[in-house]
Every structure is written in C-alpha cells, then in structure tokens.
Amino acid sequence: MNIEKMQFIYNELSEIHQVLLERRIVVESCKPHLHSCMNMQDFLSLKKFDLTMLQQALVDIGFSSLERSHFYLLYTIEKQLEALALLLAYPLIEMSHEPSPESVYTSMQRRSTFLKSHHGSANSVMITLPSEAAENPTLIQNLATRNIDIVRINTAHDSFSQWQSMAKIVQDINQSTRQNNPLKIYVDLAGPKIRTGKIKLVTQPLKIRSDGHCMLLLTTKKLQDISLPNNICGQCVVEKHWFNKRRKGEKILLTHPELKNRKLRIHKIDEKGLWLAFDKKLHIDEESRFEILDKKKDQSAILDLPQIEQEIRLFVGNLLWLRSDSSVIGRLCEDETVAKAEIACSNTDIFNFIDNETPFYIDDGKIGLRVIEKTDLGVLCRVEHAKPNGVILKGEKGINFPETNLDIEAVTPLDKENLKAVIAFADIIGISFTQKASDVAEVKAILQENNKELIGLVAKIETKKGVQRLPFILMELFSWQDSGVMLARGDLAIEVGFENLPRIQEEILELCEAAHTPVIYATQILENMMKKNLPSRAEVIDASMAQRADCIMLNKGLFAVETIDILGKILNSVRPVFFKGRHLLPIIKEWSGYLDAIKKYQRK
C-alpha cells in the first residue's frame, strides 16, 4: 500500500477533523435534536473544502470516499483516522464518541414517524384532497383503502366548513376501518401565494347530437346527484310557468335568431321532468327558446346554462394589464389597441416591489411576461414566452417574480386565523413559502399558545430565500419534536430556474439528510398518470428517485387510486437498491446465471 498516499490522506483528514471540531457550536435551543444540528454544522464545514483529490485517494486505498457519509460525518472521519493511525503506526486520536451509523439511522427513522400511519414503512405517501371530497365520503374512502398515510388539505382553496367536512370524513374512516394505521391530516397554510384573479364567466352553449334514441330532460332546477338513464344526453332548466302547462305528446320548437329551428316532442312526463325526443343535433345558448309548435307566444327561455371562464389565449407579443385592484374581473379588452386582456393580482403588495423591465411568470412558467409600463392602476406587460399556438390565461394561477426581492411575510393574517381554526383536527401543519427562521417561529408560537406542541411542522421550501436560509430554518425546526421540510418543486423551479432545479434539489436533500430532517418530495409526481392514467417514462424515473425522501406527495386527479398503486410498485422495485442516498448491493436475479453461461460459452 502506498505509504505516501496514506500519509497525505491522514494529514488531510486531520485538518478537516480539526476544522469541524473548531467550528462546532452547541446551540442549546436546538434540543431535542442537538446532535442533528451538530452534524449539519459538520456538513456545512466540510462543504468549504475541495475534496475531489482526497476522495480519489481514499478510493485508491479502499476507504470510504465520504460521498455518502454526511449522515454521520465526524464518526466516519474519526474511524478512518483511527484505521490510518494503526496502519502508519501513529498515535491514536482522541475520539468524540459520536453516535454510530446504526444509532443515527434509528434516530432518523424515529424523526420521520410523524409522517407515517404505521411504523416500518420506508416511504409514506400523501395525497391532496380535491374540493369535492368535502361532500363525497366515498372518494376519501376509496383512497383510504390504498397504501396512503396522509391526506392533504390546502387552505389556499375552499372554505373552513369544507376543510372541517373533509377532516370529519377522515376521522370517521380512522375509527371504522383504519384504527391500527390512522390516516394523518396535513393542512397547508396558503401563505402569500400570488395568484391571478377571477376571470369573467361566459355561458357555454350545449351542443347535443342524437342517434335517434337520445332524450333531453327539461326541469325547473338543476338536478344534483341523481341517477339518469344512459340515453339522457343532457338537461335544460326552463321557466316554471311554462313547464307546468306541458302535456305528453306536445310538439316543441327549439328556436334561435341565427340558427335553424329544431323539432322535439314530449315523450313522457314524470317526477324528474319533461322527456323530449329529437332526431337532429341541437345547439342551445342564451338566445335559444323553447316554444310550442304554432304557438309562438307560448315559450320559455333556457336558464342556468353552464358557465366557464372566458377564453383568454395569449401569444408572444400580446400585451396584458396586471391590475392592482384585486376586485377586477379578468376579461378580454374590447379595444385591443392598448392590451389584449386584463386580470387582477391577488396580492396588491407586490406592486411596491416591481417596476419597468421586471420579468415574471404565470401558471408554473407557462406564460412569461415583462413589465413595460407601471401606473397607479397596475402594470402593462408584454408576453415574452408562450407556446406557438398560445397559452390560455386562467384564474387563480400562481404568479412568480424570480428576479424580484419580495419582502412579504410568509405567514399572513389570514393564515393565522386559519391556523387557529384547523388545529382542532390537523396532525401536521405546512408553512408555505417559508423564507426565514422567524416564519417557523411564528407558527410555533401560535401552536404553543394553544397547547398543540404535538402537531408536526413542515417548512415548505419554494423560493430562493428559502433555499439560501435553509440551515437557519432547519435550526428553528430542531427545537420542535416532529418537524420536516417539503421540497416544493413547482414554484421552486421558476424561482431558481428550471435548469438549476436538479442541482438545487440534490443540495436540499443532502443538507436535510445531514440534518437528519425528514423530507416530503412534492409537485408533479406521476402527473400524467394522475390525469390520463398513463405515466411518461421520465415520470417513472422521477418517482423512483423520490425514495430519497421520507414522504412523497401526490396531487389530486381523476386517476388517484391507480396512481397510488403504481407509485407503490415503483417504490417496491427500487427499495432493495437504494436507501436514502446510499446505493445498496442486493442480489441481482436477472444475471444470476451469467458466470455459468460464460463457462459454457468458453467450452464451445
């Protein structure tokens, strides 16, 4: 063995060891996770060295390269120094009595139990509840039969009564079918999410085709939660006085000032309404009328037609007004000489921080804009990034200002009100847009005032400031028994730049591993699977990488049950190969007969 190389390694490790000990600061406020705080300090100190030459030298002599030792850094370095000292006949160093790797892993597993519905699982799964879950117990019951640990309620949407209803359904399920592994309830505080305002609603015409067997149902009010036969192609609400005069067999005209009349016939009348038979396609909008054949005055308007957001399709070069009055309803401008459309911004404070040439993005980066003029009413912006066929501007979509220093508090007055309301049923609280340690301290103080120290705390990292100040955020979390971090990749990608997200994601995971802090991996996990029931290849690989985290968050979607099942299969597939950042060495069955085959090949 190369004595000079061993001496080089010993000297380098000795210097690092001394620096780590000198830079360690005992922060009493970080109890009960004081050792995690110390190990994080060791990791940050180590990252000030260029270790590439040392790592190669360690590998050359068969030692650990420190690549995956940041869970227990000082322990690893001291063990390597001890081994080298014996080989070189040097005096042994004084050991720091650091916890063993086994003890560290046990501690890390214990810290992540608040994210799991039962002990022993490597990765827990969280799923976001949609708005309709408040009125649909079956939806949550179906999810509860799958391998999930946590349901997420997002206070950025819906109301307290809906959140309370969701929580009550979960609690009932826990008492009836999940007593041994009760679902946890995670509640996200909305934070200062900057969103587009509401958009003008327009009536959506009904376009109905007929195969000769379809029926159109006329009622006096919309029927909710009713089972209708398969041959019902739709329903229309009509005026009550007209509805009450109808008789079976009457012939009806569907009229429109610009379209051909269509003939229909009342096929039957029952408690649900009037059943109309027809044999040609129908177009029904606000100008359409139902009238009795040959009795033009005996007619009814069509009421309660479905409404959708006005389509505002933006192309590169289009101008858009972002209004500082949050009550402004987004719409297409009638005179497009100045701007194609206008829309409000939910957070009016941001106008204090933006000016001409400020770039920003809407809807997870789908629309990129730049401010070209600022007035008392808002800012005029030019679209600089959009798909070739344009992008539809939607209401209540996120707005990001990645190059602007927005000095806005993460915990808003509304968040504080909501927090006090949801702690009656929340097991975990998520702090959106956490940017500094005081954001965590503020939520901790409210929980302590209400004797809710057993509720878990999660700091969501989704801004540049959050990344830059993560060590201090972690230090504030150390004093809370159950705490963790969410890697919220949606807003974070726009804040740091998509091209930088892989590096930033890895750095956050490494720092949290060094701090022994549980991580929730979030945003767009198996998104195509959730929406279309078919994952992309890239999504499957992304989901497999999520095993680095302690919990994986899925968003809402039509195929939630199927997505949970696929995620479970992916994690079970990679679990024997990876543990956190460590690459394990299990038996590979696919190539188990390879050596025997080589021998046979040689004999030929």
Per-residue pLDDT tens over the stretch 159-211 = 999 999 999 999 999 999 999 999 999 999 999 889 999 999 999 898 888 77
Alpha-carbon 261 to chain mean position? 49
Strands (E), 220-312: 232-238, 251-256, 259-270, 273-278, 282-284, 289-292, 295-303, 307-309
In a domain, 593, yes or no: no
Q: Is the peptide bond before 306 cis (omega within 30 degrees of 0)?
A: no
- How confident is the model at residue 213, as a pLDDT? 73
> Domain check: are 253 and 383 in the same one?
no
Cα–chain center distance at 378: 30
Instruction: Judge if 378 and 296 occupy the same domain.
Output: no
Would 595 be classed as within a structural domain? no
* Together in a domain, 246 and 367: no
Domain membership of residue 346 (yes or no) is yes
**14-23 b/e with 16+ CB inside 10 Å = b?**
bebbeebeee
Examine residue 143 and state whether it is found in any structural domain, yes or no. yes
On whether both 301 and 319 belong to a single domain, the answer is: no
The answer on 55 and 186 residing in a single domain is no
Containing domain of residue 28, as a range? 3-105
pTM, 2 dp: 0.83
- Rounded to whole angstroms, the Cα distance separating 323 from 344 reads 5
The CATH number of whichever domain residue 372 belongs to comes to 2.40.33.10
Task: For residue 235, tell me if it sits in a domain.
Answer: yes
**427 and 567 part of one domain:** yes
**Predicted local distance difference test score (pLDDT) of residue 579:** 65
Domain count, the chain: 4
Q: Residue 171 maps to which CATH number?
A: 3.20.20.60
**Which of 369, 400, 431 finishes a domain?**
400
Q: Please report the pLDDT score of residue 225 as a whole number.
A: 47
Q: Tell me: the pLDDT tens digits for 106-116?
A: 899 899 999 99
Does residue 361 sit within a domain? yes
Beta bridge partners of 154: 188
Low-confidence ranges of the chain (pLDDT < 50): 225, 585
pLDDT at 503: 93
Write out 71-128 in H/E/C secondary structure. Answer: CCHHHHHHHHHHHHHHHHCCCCCCCCCCCCHHHHHHHHHHHCHHHCCCCCCCCEEEEE
What is the per-residue pLDDT for 580? 64
